[in-house]
Every structure is written in C-alpha cells, then in structure tokens.
Structure 1
Amino acid sequence: MSDDLELTAGPGRVRVQGLKRTLRQLSQAGADAEDMKSLMHELGEIVVKAANPPERSGTLAGTIRAGRGKTKAVVRAGGARARYAGVIHYGWPARNIAARPFLTDALQSRRAEIFRTLDRGLADILRQNDLT
C-alpha cells in the first residue's frame, strides 16, 4: 500500500508523501479519531459544494455527499435515487455517453483550498493533543 497521494490535472501534478504514515502516527500518539473524521468530512464537503453535476431534474445533485472516514475524505454520488451517477460521471463509450466528471472537476478546482484546510486541520489536531 502506497503512502503517497498524487493528483494530476493537465500538465500539473501534486504529490503528498507520507500522508497515511502521518495519520497513523497521529492516531498512535493519541489524536482523537473524531477530530480526524471531522477534518476528513470537512475536506469532502469542499468537493461536495463545488460539484456541479449536469442537471435535468436535480436528483443527482441531491445525492452528492461526503463520508466520515478517519484516514481519507470520500465523496459519493448516486444511490437508489440516482443509479445513473456513475454513467454520468465516467461515461459509457459503448452507448456513446461521454464522461462528465463533475466530482473530479470539483476536486481539481478546489485542490488548493483542500490542502490549506488539511494543513490547518492537522495543525489544530496536533495542537489540541499537545503533539507540537
């Protein structure tokens, strides 16, 4: 399992090395898991707010939500109310449906804000747990 996170958008590339190891060490040092879950949820909410899915009825937009993982931010779309979310996002070449990656676009457009929030959030957790 890699300890690196790499984001690529066009000619630009961002690589964060050691994120998983840092999160694991924070956990072992006593950082509160709820604080980490809240931070990861906050990162996901940045993407949720920036996501702009194609609209016909607005149902798909209503299914976009952020998860609460301890070590990763997860954003989901679709479900029983919008089973077609994956087809819209990734496309379906066999059916001539072009991809419209609204979640990936949201992530890329808010990348700087996400990294600022992650940096601030980790610093806050370190400070709250007397780890600085």
Structure 2
Amino acid sequence: MPLVTAGVVVLDCAEPEKLAVFYKQLLQAEETEASANLVEIRAADGFRLAFRRDANATPPSWPRPENSLQVHLDFLVDDLDAAERRVVDLGGRPVEAKDASGPFEERGCSDPAGHTFTLRRTRQTGPKMG
C-alpha cells in the first residue's frame, strides 16, 4: 500500500455551490459532500474535485504574460469543438485564441469563477501492426 495516495483537488472560490454545478455538468459528476463551506463532486472515472468557500477569492489573471499559470486542470476530450461549446454553454469561457485554422491539440478555458483549465484532445491510437 502506498504511503500517500491522491485525494481531492480543491478550488477556492466565492460561491462553491455555483461552481460545483458548472463542473458537475461538465464532467457528468455527482455531488458526494456538501457543507456550508465546501462542495465535493466525483466524476464517473473517480476523479474528485471540491470547491471551498473563500470570500476573498480572486480569479487568476493568466494568460497575461506577466503572470504565471500557477496551477490548472487538464481534461481529456475526444472532440475539442464540442467540449469548448459545452464549457461556454455552462458559463465558462475560452482564454486562448488560436489564429491558425484547423483543429488544435488543446485549448485553454476558464470556469465561471476564473480558474483556468485545459481541454486536451485524447490521443488516437492506431490499430496494432503485425
């Protein structure tokens, strides 16, 4: 048994209930715990994400070049366009504009509270050869 196991990723925000709704719908997750200051959800694959009330929370300012990314979430998707549309429909927004045409391997987004995350295309594996 490992000495340390992964627990839960916690995002500080002013309104954890509202942010939990965004991620529950994005990840098709279920709420597993709720209190006055914390809401936790679990996705079908077991990924756990929690939202902790912080009345002084301010959103990160990334992608401005003078600021570091600090931390963000990566979500794996098969269809970047569909996933980005879903983010926008749920109240999130794209934060990286790409000028070139055609599909991209990843796209930066933020949730309604300003936390950044990346939608990353899952790698397509070809058929086994030989």
- TM-score, normalised relative to structure 2: 0.25
Richer in helix (by share): 1
- TM-score, normalised relative to structure 1: 0.25
